[in-house]
Amino acid sequence: MTVKMYFSLLVPAIISLFPLGQASLPLVINTWPFKNATAAAWSVLQSGGSVLDAVEKGCARCEAEQCDGTVGYGGSPDETGETTLDAMIMNGDTMEVGSVADLRRIKNAIGVARAVMEHTEHTLLVGESASVFAENMGFIAEDLTTNKSMNIFSQWLKGNCQPNYRKPVSLPPAGRIRECRLKNMIPDPTTSCGPYKPRAMLKQSKRAQHANRRSHDTIGMIAVDGNGHVAAGTSTNGLKHKVPGRVGDSPIVGAGAYADSLAGGASATGDGDIMMRFLPR
């Protein structure tokens, strides 16, 4: 399902951007019907701005508007009730990338990602250190929690923390389903809240099932100017009820988005934990 979802976005993006050299430029394309984000990016290109400025402004609009609840502050609280953000921006001319993940207290994640690209030799900054970097760069620290996100978290706690992303047992090796040893957790994450700890290894006779993954609607944007310069970017608040510290696919080059002014651009959304295992290739 994830592979199908990825290609359903990748192929139209490539065809739309570069149909045998007949594309009408400049051009802005993004995932899902986030029209205000598209319009914000388009206005930058129309006024002669760069593709990087366009992508940053477009994604920032979604962050401010909390597009679909999956972008920006006040959405997708983790197991502790905190909202954290991931973002990435890529320059298709220079192949430079700036990314942040598990960003706390800073609403403008795409702006911080660009600061990583333009003011450091690094590609990705993560967690509290990324937040400190952002504050040092002049970004304002704010509470990313809202009444809506706290209500989502409270309802989740009342429901015994269901669903969640903990494995009650480990997956068996291929071809050894009956003989494998599966690790149980205490308490049982399928019925109880944590904190969770590993229990002794116990033999089981049936295969553990994957949890059903949710929340894939996030923004990925590609901008192309009249000269064919390409940039791509992403921004998201990740999976609802994720394990704290989780880094998704959106800030990962080639999994969340990619840009190359000599070839094109692409963005993807889906089950990020699976996508990162196969992308980039």
Q: Is the pLDDT of residue 197 over 80?
A: yes
Q: Is the pLDDT of residue 5 over 80?
A: no
Same structural domain, 201 and 261: no
Q: Is the pLDDT of residue 111 over 50?
A: yes
**In this structure, is residue 156 part of a structural domain?**
no
Q: 217 falls in which pLDDT band (50, 70, 90)?
A: low
Give the pair of three-digit tokens for residue 14: 């490539």
Same structural domain, 61 and 33: yes
Q: Tell me which residues are annotated as active site.
A: 218
Position 269 scores a pLDDT of 86
**Model confidence over 127-161: pLDDT tens digits?**
999 999 999 999 999 999 999 999 999 999 999 99
Same structural domain, 27 and 104: yes
Judge whether 266 and 222 are in contact, CB under 8 Å: yes
Same structural domain, 102 and 193: no
Q: Is 247 annotated as a binding residue?
A: yes
Position 142 scores a pLDDT of 97
What is the average pLDDT across 195-220? 61
What is the average pLDDT across 116-129? 98
Same structural domain, 139 and 274: yes
**In this structure, is residue 161 part of a structural domain?**
no
Q: What is the DSSP string of 216-229?
A: ---EEEEEE-TT--
**Burial (Cβ within 10 Å: 0-12, 13-18, ≥19) of residue 274:** middle
Same structural domain, 68 and 186: no
Q: Is 271 annotated as a binding residue?
A: yes
Position 173 scores a pLDDT of 59
Same structural domain, 6 and 116: yes
Q: Is 233 annotated as a binding residue?
A: no
Average pLDDT of the chain, as a whole number: 86
**Residue 197: strand pairing partners:** 186
Q: Is the pLDDT of residue 277 over 50?
A: yes
Same structural domain, 97 and 39: yes
Helix (H) or strand (E) holding 148: helix 147-158
What is the average pLDDT across 109-118? 99
Same structural domain, 226 and 204: no
Same structural domain, 133 and 89: yes
**In this structure, is residue 190 part of a structural domain?**
yes
String of b and e for 48-59 (b: at least 16 CB within 10 Å)?
A: ebbbbbbbbbbb
Q: 186 falls in which pLDDT band (50, 70, 90)?
A: confident
**In this structure, is residue 250 part of a structural domain?**
yes
* Range in 70-74, 152-156, 204-208, 259-263 the model is least confident about: 204-208
Same structural domain, 175 and 245: no
**Model confidence over 165-180: pLDDT tens digits?**
998 766 555 555 544 4
Q: Is 55 annotated as a binding residue?
A: no
**In this structure, is residue 100 part of a structural domain?**
yes
Distance of alpha carbon 49 from alpha carbon 42, whole angstroms: 9
Position 208 scores a pLDDT of 41
Matching residue, tokens 């990825």: 6
The contacts of residue 158 (CB under 8 Å, 6+ apart) are: none
pLDDT, greater one: 182 or 250 = 250
* Range in 46-55, 83-92, 140-149, 196-205 the model is least confident about: 196-205
Matching residue, tokens 């990748």: 10
- How much of the chain exceeds pLDDT 70, in percent? 79
Q: Is the pLDDT of residue 3 over 60?
A: no
**How many residues are there in the chain?**
281
**In this structure, is residue 70 part of a structural domain?**
yes
Position 204 scores a pLDDT of 45
Q: Is 86 annotated as a binding residue?
A: no
Position 175 scores a pLDDT of 56
What domain range includes position 193? Answer: 166-210
**In this structure, is residue 103 part of a structural domain?**
yes
Same structural domain, 205 and 247: no
Distance of alpha carbon 38 from alpha carbon 36, whole angstroms: 5
**In this structure, is residue 238 part of a structural domain?**
yes
Domain count, the chain: 2
